Structure 1
């Protein structure tokens, strides 16, 4: 089957390539920033007010989130950055995903019996990939920003020294990992108080984090990836049982890739290519749905068809997607309308298709442990940035003197074909572990470009990221605003397990019953998920609006006010 797919690449015209011309627009009247933490949003607004552009603001927001939201991202992790550079009308995708250490092996997380050892791939030093966030900060500032790194990093440095208040999301996520954090003295010293989760409102400081940012401000990425600091990181990781080397750090580079772009319902969607699975899945789902006129359907038949499209897109994710520098990923085929027509032919309008009837991987709860922010500036530059350390508080390891947690992104590889990762996602050889390879990700920073408005959006949420972005796009294409997209109720299907999961308020009892009657295993959860951040520019008026997810009340912040007036 894979051979047939590879040959088919020659027959299908790709949906990626040159950008469609865009009509003249009224420039944004102001900047807009939406992030998962008010401290980070304020840092971005401060940099915009000082004359920085969206990319300078992104440096400030990213560095601040790494401090105040350590459960979700930081210097020890990585991410994807989708940028629109207004001066030349160019979109670019910056891949700052973590890489597997050069000493990695395909079966490094299997026990003597050949079974996956999940603890090894999620906890401790062996679980950590080589971080990409420090390189991304320098890349943003040098290639696209207007201000020096020292200025864009200043808000985070100041906050690390003056202190920030421990919040409800910090506490909730730390509750899941308290024991693992307590087992690492350097991590415990940063995040626990007398061995316990700090009380909400506790003033937290991080002098080591400030010093690390100051080093990056002075020396750029080399201050992190080379020299004394790199030797300290490697020594700390190896002492804890990891396999990093100085060569791993010195050889790390961000990669600029062409974004994936396609049309749907009169909108242009610009989104993440592999090693993100998100853009391909979005294109597949929307191509499958397009001929149905689903936007005019009642909720239950519309949901049924959306779920059937999700099921098939996630099946393809499991089989075909991985790091394009290591595997031949059939993007043109998977994003073609002809391929979608073939998938559509197997969909019944009345009955769910059991996942075990789809050919693919033989196999058998998501937390907001990633973060996303969206930015628009007055020049029309756009930044959609999703960054992560994978599970809450990463692998729980802090190298003494550094001030940040390391990631456990090695779990995002397919440890063994058909064995689910921590988010229940299965994979095959395309996403197998290999030295220097980047693991497949669900992170899906996205632009929605219409005749009269442009939206920037994304969210954390593990395997549910893609479907949350999809539902946000539906809300925006249906005419909703930035806040409405962040508010929209969520449901999800990922092929395996064969379940339609939903937030508590997503379906009425009658709607759930009708979906069950169609053969769906409907699982209504007792909590919500995700943390979507959206900014929107009305091209006809220049108005900018921001929406932040209400699911973590009082934590995130979206602002489109005149930043300059705040900081004068």
Structure 2
């Protein structure tokens, strides 16, 4: 014996590990969480949250989750129920963007279901004999409609990302259309605003009006024709909408009323999966909409400009001044450079580059406004806000931020007889004439001119925010103001507030032209307005509020899930279960 143990090194290691292995086995048998199990539990929220513009849509999303679906299936249910009960803002006669995050592998994509121009569309189709834009022709009636993309996008999401059959996720919408929904405040108000145009088209008038007048609050509107359309899609698939008998019904109705759709237009509609815009701000990664949305690039530009400021050292007026100047420059770029990336070369890399933003920031005076006429382009127009947004997080951590639209309230107000849904007027989102504003006051040039099969530029900005401590999902309707509302929501997230606060926050906006700050009644104090005006800004305080933001937050530190629905709407609802 030489005094050394004859036990092998391997045996000594096993003897030391054996007690630990036995303890780990007992822990597992007892059902106690190991460290790995605890980590796995933290990686999923365990609760689902949905916030949308209508309580029936929010409930429909949870119904689909409880039936075994995931966030993507729920998004189909929410989208189609909104298409029934909120035709003021979206519908199967329109389109949208669905931003998806898959929890199991972190995959993210934007499903582009934006409408497309018919093949017979021309750059001058809305110009009168004097070369001026005919606004009525551009926004009312079937000539204003692009080929709708919502059904194609939802079928794509179901097939590629969902767990349930497409037909199952359509059931809540079929039920809503058949059983009806009560008239609520927003629906009542927008119907009053659009009543005279709706009365031009008998099918729409019969569906929404009562003896030619706006029905009273609480009156139940039933849409049996729409229920039959949705049932046909559920039974026969999306081809019936794009190539079958419903497509033929739509084309015949549109052409009879003066539109230019063809069966080839319907059959050639295609969904596009697009890489989202990604940017970083204060250590968080933002994932947002890519072209043909202008929102993601504009948000990246604005945040890159603001990255160079220390807001803690600024008072509210000084902070607002810098935010407004970032808005001004981002909207200038929107007008000059952005359009459908399948038709124009959008300089994404340059516009989202920090060095580019550094140059823009250098042109901002610390206490003087930059007149917009010192930057290229000018115009003037007013704006309305009609679109919808919802945010979803399921118990596994799958995320959906979706912003959908028919453009103006009730789209173009035209309804093909026997269908139960209005068509969009998204053709007005093109630039009908260089430098001439659309219905939202937004100007555009060649990048967004009308071309056959082209998608019009959009402001829709569904967004995810990823950080080590929390994850956010947000977006809003609001026409040209969508982008700035989402920006303010992001900044509020960064300030440590939750979704109930983001969606309630008083809002202000600047879109390059017209050259003034629009503000909700309580966005600024009298002293703050005076300070901004001393810098050279014009502040116009609105007598109304805008937007309808819906957001979801997952706090990774404590596992809490919360959701917020904009109090500006009487019908919206956020539910965590």
**Cα distance in 2 for residues equivalent to 1:529 and 1:308:** 21
SS where residue 100 of structure 2 aligns? strand
**Alignment match, 1:454:** 471
Please report the TM-score for the alignment, with normalisation by the length of structure 1.
Answer: 0.93
**Alignment match, 1:302:** 319
Structure 1's 482 and 364: CA in aligned 2 closer, same or farther, altered over 3 A? closer
* Mapped pair 1:47 → 2:64: yes
**Cα distance in 1 for residues equivalent to 2:246 and 2:558:** 49
- Can you list the C-alpha shifts for 1:83-118, whole angstroms capped at 9, x where unaligned? 001122100001100000000001111111111111
**Alignment match, 1:491:** 508
Alignment map for 1:38-437 (pairs within 5 Å): 38-360=55-377, 365-437=382-454
SS where residue 87 of structure 1 aligns? coil
Q: CA RMSD in A?
A: 1.2
**Cα distance in 2 for residues equivalent to 1:295 and 1:549:** 27
Contact 1:161/1:207 (<8 A) preserved: yes
**Cα distance in 2 for residues equivalent to 1:424 and 1:295:** 34
- Can you list the C-alpha shifts for 1:351-374, whole angstroms capped at 9, x where unaligned? 100000012457784333100000
* Mapped pair 1:29 → 2:46: yes
Q: Rg: which structure is higher? A: 2
- Can you list the C-alpha shifts for 1:379-436, whole angstroms capped at 9, x where unaligned? 1100000000000000000001111000000000000011000000000100000000
**Alignment match, 1:469:** 486
**Cα distance in 2 for residues equivalent to 1:334 and 1:299:** 27
**Alignment match, 1:502:** 519
**Alignment match, 1:538:** 555
What's the CA shift for 1:137? 1.4
Pick one of 551, 558, 565 that aligns with 2:574: 558
**Cα distance in 2 for residues equivalent to 1:202 and 1:297:** 51
What's the CA shift for 1:296? 4.4
Structure 1's 505 and 363: CA in aligned 2 closer, same or farther, altered over 3 A? closer
What's the CA shift for 1:224? 0.3
**Alignment match, 2:13:** none
**Alignment match, 1:11:** none
Structure 1's 295 and 146: CA in aligned 2 closer, same or farther, altered over 3 A? farther
What's the CA shift for 1:289? 1.2
What's the CA shift for 1:223? 1.3
**Alignment match, 1:5:** none
**Cα distance in 2 for residues equivalent to 1:364 and 1:38:** 34
**Alignment match, 2:18:** none
**Cα distance in 2 for residues equivalent to 1:160 and 1:274:** 33
What's the CA shift for 1:515? 0.5
Structure 1's 292 and 159: CA in aligned 2 closer, same or farther, altered over 3 A? same
**Cα distance in 1 for residues equivalent to 2:380 and 2:517:** 18
**Cα distance in 1 for residues equivalent to 2:250 and 2:232:** 14
- Can you list the C-alpha shifts for 1:135-163, whole angstroms capped at 9, x where unaligned? 01101111111111221111111121122
Contact 1:318/1:361 (<8 A) preserved: no
Total equivalences in the alignment: 538
What's the CA shift for 1:542? 2.6
SS where residue 273 of structure 1 aligns? coil
**Cα distance in 2 for residues equivalent to 1:322 and 1:162:** 41
Structure 2: segments with no counterpart, 5+ residues: 1-38
Contact 1:295/1:302 (<8 A) preserved: no
**Alignment match, 1:10:** none
Please report the TM-score for the alignment, with normalisation by the length of structure 2.
Answer: 0.92
**Cα distance in 2 for residues equivalent to 1:220 and 1:214:** 9
Contact 2:379/2:513 (<8 A) preserved: no
SS where residue 315 of structure 1 aligns? helix
Deviates more, 1:217-226 or 1:390-399: 217-226
- Can you list the C-alpha shifts for 1:208-256, whole angstroms capped at 9, x where unaligned? 1111111111222101001221111100000110000000000001100
Structure 1: segments with no counterpart, 5+ residues: 1-22, 563-568
**Cα distance in 2 for residues equivalent to 1:234 and 1:300:** 53
**Alignment match, 2:29:** none
